[in-house]
Structure 1
Amino acid sequence: MPSFQTRLKITGLKPGNPPEAVMAAAVEALETRHHVEANQLELAGGVPQLNLRFLVEATEYHGENQQARESAAMMRDAVERVALTGSLMVLRRNRGRWAPV
């Protein structure tokens, strides 16, 4: 199964939401469609960034990439209910390296 990763910048919390709600929203959204292998919060240039790694059912290359992009957008929508977001990247694992989709 192809492995993908999303990287979503978080620029702030919406009022009344604890910091833990951000990752919980992201994981919950992705888990509705895919197996989430790992998740972590990093600082990228001083800005918090969610990194989630997930598997997409193997079909054909472009379809898998499209599924990953759609799922990442759905995840971002879920996160935006509790936080303000910045840039979103979707990467695919290919021959041991992460490459943008």
Structure 2
Amino acid sequence: MPSFQTKLKIAGLKPGNPPESVMAAAVEALETRHHVESNQLDIVGGVPQISLRFLVEARDYPGENSEARQSAAMMRDAVERVALTGSLYVLRRSRGKWAPI
């Protein structure tokens, strides 16, 4: 199964939402479609960024990439209910390296 990673910048929380609600929303959304291998929060250039690694069912290469992009967008929509977001990145693991798709 191909491995993908999505990274999403978090600009701030919406009122009434605790910080942990961001990752909870992201994981819950992705788990509806894929196995989530890991998740983490990093601070990149002073800005919080969540990263989730997930598996996509094997099929044709373009179809796998398309499904990963759609799932990342769905995850972002879920996170935007609790937080303000910034840039979204989707990467695919290939030959031991992460490459943007």
- Normalising by the residue count of structure 2, what TM-score does the alignment of the two structures yield? 1.00
Aligned to 1:47: 47
Give, in angstroms, the shift of residue 25 of structure 1: 0.1
Give the share of equivalent positions with the same residue, in percent. 81
- Normalising by the residue count of structure 1, what TM-score does the alignment of the two structures yield? 1.00
Structure 2's unaligned 5+ residue stretches are none
Aligned to 1:83: 83
Q: Structure 2 matches for 1:16-95, cutoff 5 A?
A: 16-95=16-95
CA distance in 1, matches of 2:44, 2:69: 21
1:75-100 residue CA offsets vs partner (Å, 9 max, x unmatched): 00000000000000000000000000
Q: Is the partner of 2:50 in helix, strand or coil?
A: strand
The one-letter code of the counterpart of 1:53 is R
1:27-56 residue CA offsets vs partner (Å, 9 max, x unmatched): 000000000000000001110000000000
Q: Is the partner of 2:62 in helix, strand or coil?
A: helix
Q: Give the count of matched residue pairs.
A: 101
> How much is the aligned-residue C-alpha RMSD, in angstroms?
0.2
Structure 1's unaligned 5+ residue stretches are none
